[in-house]
Amino acid sequence: MHFSRSIAGLLGLLLLFFLFPVQNLQPAPLMRVGPRDMVFQPTDEEGYMQAWNVNFRGNGMLIYITFVISNLGPKSLNNGVSILLVKDGNVRVWTKEYDYQSLEAQKGVFGHKSYMNWLRYENGKYFIEIDQGDKSTPVIKLELSPYGPGLGLSDGKINLSEGGFIRFDVPVISSSATGHMILDDQWIDLKGVGGMEYLNGNRPVHNFAKRFHLIRSYNQGNGFFVGGFFGTEDSPYHSLIHAKVIKGGKLLDYGVAKQVENIKVSQNAFSGYQVPEETLYRLNRCAVLESRKYYTGGYYVLGNISVLLRTVLRVFFARPYVLHYHTVAKAWCGEGDATRSYQELLKKTPTAEFPSESTFYLINP
């Protein structure tokens, strides 16, 4: 399968290209998503991309596996896989880009094979098999058994100007995760908790967004979920943040955040970027305070890709980084809470509190 232009090396920045000025957002109530919502659906439009991000937490480590299919140069590369491993405070990253001839995927069907790497769904379970064909990279096999249905964060496709769209979902909020990993000639049995995010879009974004922010919780039926971006000076949006608050399986609030206030920021030593320590999100009914607890890992995107692709990306991105943090989100959803001051909220008992993971995809300063 071959697209007019192709790329896989944007693995570390996959979320960034889905963002574009959005017109007339009309969020809907809780939308449940699954494999049928993530089928292979290529287009010839420049900027097409689909990405599936699988995460694992257990055995004292964090593993992030990203599959991506796109049509953004260079040459015939249109698919790839990246792995981010965080263990004992150390971060290791492996990224591989593959030619279109190595991609096996059927339009309208979920699952694909990228070289020797598989993502598939059978009998209610997701199966991930990673083998990048290099002894220096890990071989991973994972089986995810979801505890419940997935969550549509953007509630389907959000229509953009000039025929563009973006979509971002959490098809696996929480699941049991089992399998094994072979790394540095050692076999490691894996047992923990897994999840998955899905992104689909057809427009590049570097002219409109400085950073993309994703927040997600890992407890089925409970959590704070955010997907959105902060715009450039030329963007008509200072920020566009889509959020949902769920407790006990019930949707407490949803929609585009009316206000995003960074209460406290500090410099991330690894990237040099200023990153929020506390952020207050004001929705329709709820006010949600996300507080950073600790840095779990990150990487410099241009340091983990081919020389050719690094040259291409430097045209668009000055300092692209991906940073992961463990955070806690507190939601106040009582009458009048959405407009209360920061100090007033701290004096009240929150309606709900969620452990969360906060990820920043930083494009340009």
Residue 256 has which token pair? 């585009």
Give the per-residue pLDDT at 19: 29
Lowest mean pLDDT among 23-32, 55-64, 180-189, 268-277: 23-32
Residue ranges making up the domain that contains 107: 9-362
pLDDT at 316 over 60: no
pLDDT at 193 over 50: yes
Does a structural domain hold residue 95? Answer: yes
Is-contact 196 169, C-beta < 8 A? no
Side-by-side strand order, sheet with 274-282: 250-256, 239-247, 223-231, 209-217, 352-362, 321-332, 287-300, 274-282, 259-267
pLDDT at 326 over 90: yes
pLDDT at 350 over 60: yes
Arithmetic mean of pLDDT, 174-179? 95
pLDDT at 282 over 50: yes
Give the per-residue pLDDT at 204: 65
Number of domain units in the chain: 1
Give the per-residue pLDDT at 308: 47
We report the CATH number of the domain holding residue 301 as 2.40.370.10
Does a structural domain hold residue 58? Answer: yes
Does a structural domain hold residue 4? Answer: no
What are the pLDDT digits (tens) for 103-142?
A: 999 999 999 999 999 999 999 999 999 998 888 899 999 9
What are the pLDDT digits (tens) for 203-220?
A: 765 655 678 888 988 877
Residue 94: Cβ-neighbour burial (10 angstroms; 0-12, 13-18, 19+): middle
Does a structural domain hold residue 1? Answer: no
Is-contact 34 171, C-beta < 8 A? yes
Arithmetic mean of pLDDT, 311-329? 73
Phi, psi of 236 (to 5 degrees): -70, -10
- Give CA 73 to chain center in angstroms: 22
Q: Is the alpha carbon torsion for 172, 325, 16, 276 positive or negative?
A: positive
Give the per-residue pLDDT at 194: 94
Going by C-beta distance under 8 Å and a sequence separation of 6 or more, which residues neighbour residue 24?
159
Does a structural domain hold residue 2? Answer: no
